[in-house]
Structure 1
Amino acid sequence: MTERPSPSRDASGRSEGEQPPLPPARFAYDRHTWKEIAHLLVNLPLSLLGFTYVVTVLFTGAFLTLTVIGFPLLAAGLMGARQLGKLERARARALLGVRVDEPSPLPLRGGKDGFFPQLWLALKDPVGWRTILYDFIRLPWGVLTFTITLTSLFVLWPVLPFIARGLTNADRAMVRGLLSPSDELERRIAELESDRGVVVDTAAADLRRIERDLHDGAQARLVNLAMGLGLAKEKLLEDPDSAAAMVAEAHGEVKLALQELRDLARGIHPAVLTDRGLDAALSAVASRCTVPVKVTVDLASRPAAAIEGIAYFTVSELLQNVSKHSGAKSASVDVWRADERLLIQVGDDGRGGARLDGGTGMRGLADRLDAVDGLFVIESPQGGPTTVTAELPWRDRVPGQE
């Protein structure tokens, strides 16, 4: 009797032709899943904190609006809500991977605009109110997600990753919808309000400088001139030679006073800029610099007077810095138009090391350009060379504009 050959077996012990068993089911319990589960479990305590804060702020603020402290308290509550929103955005970044831009800060300026305008600005803050809404609706959601997640940890373990993903997707949508800047317009409005304050401060500082220059310079000279002429008048008959000397001295004072007034007028808005444009005006500035300056202005037309003035004073101050601080042997100024932007580049071969916080007026220049949608970039390694690039929006000159 012939024996049937026994089936051959492989190294695993399976007979030939026998199908391997299916691998065990595996679910995505990776680090991302655990972060989502942690987020859902933390929802309850943070939603309790946020809801309690919101109810306290709203009810206390609304009740006390009958008194003088109600509105300031409500404004402070809205600013505090911003901090809760910041906490929630940080939690979403860390646990859910949601990258949400921080809203623009309120342009509060230390009371410079007055108490009531700043109070109104805080009371109408859309970021604070959206955070209030977010924290108000989160309590039932926090209870629901905490309960479902905690139960699933013991009952629905195999499908918990899918449940966590669905619940956290709803969290992601809430964060993006209520805790992100509403749109670019809101950010831009806040920036413009802040920039308006910079312009106002700059204008006020310029007025104070003009007043100080007039008081300490030309006005003082004119007062001394009047006194000298008065004394000369008294001595005219009794001591003509002495009176003539005093008149000659007064004549010299008149010349100095006129020169100071011309310099002051040039600092406000030079006539050459109005009459002949940037090329001639910057050439005049360059001629007063202590180092040789090559000026190249490549403009087919003149920009608006305001833009032209900002460009002129930017180059003037940069060349003053070159004279006083750079130790350079030569410098250059280039001005040209690129699409709808006016570009200015001032370079020197000096010692370098220029910074925005270096105390040479660079920060003030950067703030002035930022206030009109401009840019200000410094490249100044130690040892030089230094290149400062300024960029301004191009606006066409209105015919007849001065």
Structure 2
Amino acid sequence: MRFAYDAHTWKEIAHLLVNLPVGMLGFVYAVSVLAIGVPLTVTVVGLPLLAVGLLGARVLGRAERARARKLLGVQVDEPSPMPAIASSGFFGRLWASLKDPVGWRTMLYSFVRLPWGVLTFAVMATGLFVAWPVLPFIARGLANADRAMVRGLLSPSDELERRIAELESDRGVVVDTAAADLRRIERDLHDGAQARLVALAMGLGLAKEKLTEDPEAAARMVDEAHGEVKVALQELRDLARGIHPAVLTDRGLNAALSSLAGRCTVPVKVTADLPARPAAAIEGIAYFTVSELLQNVSKHSGARSARVEVWRADDRLLIQVEDDGRGGARLDGGTGMAGLADRLGAVDGIFVIDSPEGGPTTITAELPWRDRATDPEPQRDARRR
């Protein structure tokens, strides 16, 4: 009968017997990390040593999850990896490691495992020689306790850890996007309006010198400067529209999208069914999403017409841009689609492309709806005006 145990029972027995050496290894590791790291926290090396110890605990936890999957059949997901916080520098990464819940839970698991390993080893070793007829039932009960321990201490804590990792990644996308926008504005100012205003100042200086000697030449130079002023003003208006268009602030998304459609080289029909205005931040993201998509329609699609629809469904703002062009749009196609998907993802949005070869192309974007009444941005805008 002892050899009639099925493979599942033998795996459980093997797991329970191995608990003792594994528990000793984990216990020694956890005690060593805390005994060395905690007293040394008063020095410059203590906290880094503790952080490295917690990273090592993650490795132990990964090995234990693999053992539980193989011998106990416990299907536990791997916790989220440590978020990359390169912009926070050394101390930011150190603090993230020190407050890592995965590492601390694995340390607790390592402490619990030694007494539990002694118990399971003693029971299994005794049962193999004395109580082998009932040993499968004892093994099943102890193994179930082991399964509960693995799920409770080594599995991801619901969706919290995954959500934290997503938010860290999204924060990086937002920071990178903001930095890129600032660089673009700086470049546009330097190469456009600033250069033109410098040339204008030089022209007016020359006109001032010629005013008494050659009034006619000075008048021509002033006329040229007047034309340069008009061009510079138009460039500044275009730049301001690229930052945040006045029509969006004053009249809302419907009017702003109609203005975009009027500037598109392809005829565009706009339909907006919004009972109210969303929060200013969401409204801005929706506007610039449609703006970039319509630019792609103009430059890359070869379409004869396009359509933009915007509506609210429950707590989501939905945007759909469709064209009858050649299709083939992809996230990795080099037309800024990946950047749009990242920007929407950073605010819990969704970006879906349906663009078979030969067309048509339909792009759907979803954004979370936030009421404008609870958003502080419009009040600040009103005070500024």
TM-score (norm 2): 0.87
Counterparts of residues 99-248 of structure 1 (less than 5 Å): 99-110=75-86, 112-153=87-128, 155-185=130-160, 187-248=162-223
SS of corresponding position for 1:113: helix
Give the drift of 1:336: 0.7
Counterparts of residues 263-342 of structure 1 (less than 5 Å): 263-342=238-317
Measured against aligned partners, the alpha-carbon deviations of 1:145-189 in whole angstroms (never above 9, x if no partner) come to: 344335544554443332221111111111121112334455545
Cα distance between partner residues in 1 of 2:54 and 2:189: 47
Which amino acid counterpart does residue 224 of structure 1 have in structure 2?
Answer: A
Unpaired segments of 5 or more residues in structure 1? 1-24
The percent identity for this pair of structures is: 81
Name 1:4's counterpart in structure 2. none
SS of corresponding position for 2:88: coil
Name 1:51's counterpart in structure 2. 27
Going from structure 1 to structure 2, the CA distance change for 1:375 and 1:29 (only over 3 Å counts) comes to: farther
Structure 1 contact 369–375 (Cα < 8 Å) conserved:
yes
Structure 2 contact 40–46 (Cα < 8 Å) conserved:
yes
Measured against aligned partners, the alpha-carbon deviations of 1:332-364 in whole angstroms (never above 9, x if no partner) come to: 221111111111122233344433344332333
Greater shift in the superposed pair: 316-325 or 354-363: 354-363
Which amino acid counterpart does residue 297 of structure 1 have in structure 2?
Answer: A
Which amino acid counterpart does residue 166 of structure 1 have in structure 2?
Answer: G
Which amino acid counterpart does residue 213 of structure 2 have in structure 1?
Answer: E
Give the total of aligned pairs: 377
Are 2:371 and 1:365 equivalent residues in the alignment? no
Structure 1 contact 28–161 (Cα < 8 Å) conserved:
no
Give the drift of 1:264: 0.9
Give the drift of 1:254: 1.5
SS of corresponding position for 1:114: helix
From the CA coordinates, give the structure whose radius of gyration is larger: 1
Name 2:65's counterpart in structure 1. 89
Going from structure 1 to structure 2, the CA distance change for 1:81 and 1:318 (only over 3 Å counts) comes to: farther
Structure 1 contact 296–334 (Cα < 8 Å) conserved:
yes
Are 2:40 and 1:64 equivalent residues in the alignment? yes
Instruction: Give the superposed CA RMSD.
Output: 2.7
Greater percentage in helix: 2
Structure 2 contact 2–132 (Cα < 8 Å) conserved:
no
Unpaired segments of 5 or more residues in structure 2? none
Going from structure 1 to structure 2, the CA distance change for 1:350 and 1:142 (only over 3 Å counts) comes to: farther
Give the drift of 1:192: 3.7
Give the drift of 1:42: 3.8
Cα distance between partner residues in 2 of 1:314 and 1:330: 18
Structure 1 contact 376–391 (Cα < 8 Å) conserved:
yes
Give the drift of 1:109: 1.6
Cα distance between partner residues in 2 of 1:299 and 1:243: 56
Which amino acid counterpart does residue 299 of structure 1 have in structure 2?
Answer: L
Which amino acid counterpart does residue 69 of structure 2 have in structure 1?
Answer: R
Structure 1 contact 27–161 (Cα < 8 Å) conserved:
no
Cα distance between partner residues in 2 of 1:256 and 1:28: 92
Which amino acid counterpart does residue 89 of structure 1 have in structure 2?
Answer: R
Going from structure 1 to structure 2, the CA distance change for 1:125 and 1:26 (only over 3 Å counts) comes to: closer
TM-score (norm 1): 0.84
SS of corresponding position for 2:38: helix
